[in-house]
A and B are shown apart, each in its own frame.
Chain A
Amino acid sequence: MKIKLLSGIAIVGLALVFTGCQKYPQAEVDAANAAIEATKAVQANLYVPEEYNALQDSLTTVLAAVEKEKSKLFHNYKDEVAKLTATAEQAKVVAGNAQAKKEQYKQETATALTEITALMEQNKEYLAKAPKGKEGKAALEAIAADLTTIEAGVVEVNNKLASDDIIGALNQAKSLKEKATGINTELTEVLKKTGKIK
């Protein structure tokens, strides 16, 4: 009887040895990879580079852990599956953060463009009021040329927005705004001197 019991245990044990290993978590690996690709698609590497790099590190670490487990005689992927799932979830958060950052930059660009438009309107109004004829119309030609350059720059900013170069658009918009503000200050001073504005 004792012998029979021992035989049973041995057979079950051997069966466990050869058949009891867990299946490679291919679905979870694929899901995590896909989630990371999705973050790349929303340019997380540009908008939230640190979060994106951390995410990639997590995936590389967990993939190595999966292979380590696979190298063993008995595979147990329980921890790795949990980590892969967490990585995929984190990827969604990172993608969301990237989109939010991108939206914030877009908003900042739009605000800068609105401010530039207002400044340009005022600059044109001031330019019209500025000394004319013998009293300096020609002297303001340079400013008029600057205004044209700014207007061309605004078109470039919009093109950059359209081609999804949001960071480039924001930087150019900031620079244009600074220039438009400088001209506004200059014109304001001239008009104050001539008494055309208070």
Chain B
Amino acid sequence: MARKLKKKVRNSLIIIGILIPLIIAGIFYWGSPKPPDLEMNKARSAISEAKKVIASDFIPPAFNQAVVLYDSAMIFWKVENERFILKRKYDKIRTLAIRAEQLALVSPKIASQNTEEFLAAIDRDMEAIRKDTAQIEQLYSRLPLPTTINKKYSTGLMLFNEAQLNLEQKNYKVCRAKLEIAKNNLSDVARHTQNLLSDYFANLGTWKRWADQTIRESAQNQTYAIIVDKFAGKCYLYRNGVLKTTYEAELGKNWIGEKRYSGDKATPEGKYRITKKKDGHSTKYYKAMLINYPNDEDKRRFQEEIRRKSLPRYAKIGGMIEIHGGGGKGINWTDGCVALDNNQMDALYRQVSVGCPITIVGSLQPLFEVIKGPKP
């Protein structure tokens, strides 16, 4: 009996010995908190998707915050995992992950809005630069500009090209930086050319009056008359007050503005007459027609400049201004003369005699028409 009882007790103890660990294992298994992997996965997925659509230059603070929250959640998760399994708490991690997911989900919208605004601003700037450049380009090749302005123009154009390349590559910040410098350079050039032209065109009224008088004189006297429009680079031949032929004219390198002294490479403006016709060995430019520069007005202006000391005392007024051949180079290259190509010079030379009026003007059209119109 006692042996049976002893056996029962022993068996019971063994069963208890087996059950207790199993129960403990069960408590560990079912009692441990559920890991926050679902929330973490959602947050990670939202961050990953946002990263795919957000350009690196437009990452909004919300996205950075989402990443920080996710990283913090990971750190807390690691810390909790180091604790005793039944003591782990994942609530804070879940909260962080959910917040990270929410921020990541709104980030693309914020970034897209920022990107659109930025791109619209870039677009506006680029359009303004293109407009400025087209206007400068239209006039640039014809205007004698100082080296510093030429350099600004070249650098501005090159930076504009770089800005466009960076825009294509979605390097928005670099694009912005390049565009800013390009804009400044090109607007300086545009301002310089605008000022230069505004000063130049201040004499438009006088030029028109001279041109009208010359045409009228041609009509009244039934003679030929020549009008040279420096800005348009044209030489107009009138007969009996009617325009007969238009020639392409090339001028002095520093053609813009009045001729002030000998060697300034400017083509004079004023009302003149042909004083001599030259051909053969008497000219090195195929054929030439000398004009009576300096006229009385030129001499008066020159003396006034000497008196005001805006010209050095030893300055000379210059002379030997002609209409001559050798032109057709496509550039303004003379020392102040008007050059035509040899065929056109032939035609003009044949029709015009000594005494023929020749009026040289800065322009016959106002500045706004010159700028909006086709290449002068």
Contacts and interface: CB of A to CB of B under 8 A. Distances in A.
Interface of A: 3, 6-7, 10, 13-14, 17, 49, 53, 57, 60-61, 63-65, 67-68, 70-73, 131, 134-136, 138-139, 141-142, 145-146, 148-150, 153, 167-168, 171-172, 174-176, 178-179, 189-190, 193-194
Among all A-B residue pairs, the 8 with the closest Cβ atoms = A136-B333, A71-B35, A175-B161, A10-B18, A68-B37, A14-B21, A138-B253, A142-B150
A197 to B, nearest CB: 14
Interface residues of B, number: 56
A13 B21 CA distance: 9
B287 to A, nearest CB: 17
Contacts, number: 134
B198 interface: no
B154 interface: yes
Interface string B302-337: 000000000000000000000000101111111100
Contacts of B78: 67, 70
A74 B284 CA distance: 104
Given A10-B22, A171-B166, A3 B11 contact: yes
B103 interface: no
B169 A167 contact: yes
Nearest to B145: A142
B171 A139 contact: no
Q: Chain A contact residues: over half helix, strand or loop, or mixed?
A: helix
Given A10-B22, A53-B52, A145-B151, 6 more contacts: A7-B14, A7-B17, A71-B35, A73-B32, A135-B329, A178-B161
A190 B331 contact: yes
A179 B166 contact: no
7 contacts: A17-B28, A68-B35, A71-B32, A73-B32, A139-B333, A145-B154, A179-B161
Interface in B56-94: 56, 70, 74, 77-78, 80-81, 85, 88, 90
B155 A149 contact: yes
A190 B14 CA distance: 110
B264 to A, nearest CB: 11
Interface stretch (B40-48, B292-300, B362-370): B40-48
B150 A179 contact: no
B333 A179 contact: no
A93 to B, nearest CB: 20
A134 B28 contact: no
A70 B25 contact: no
A68 B46 CA distance: 19
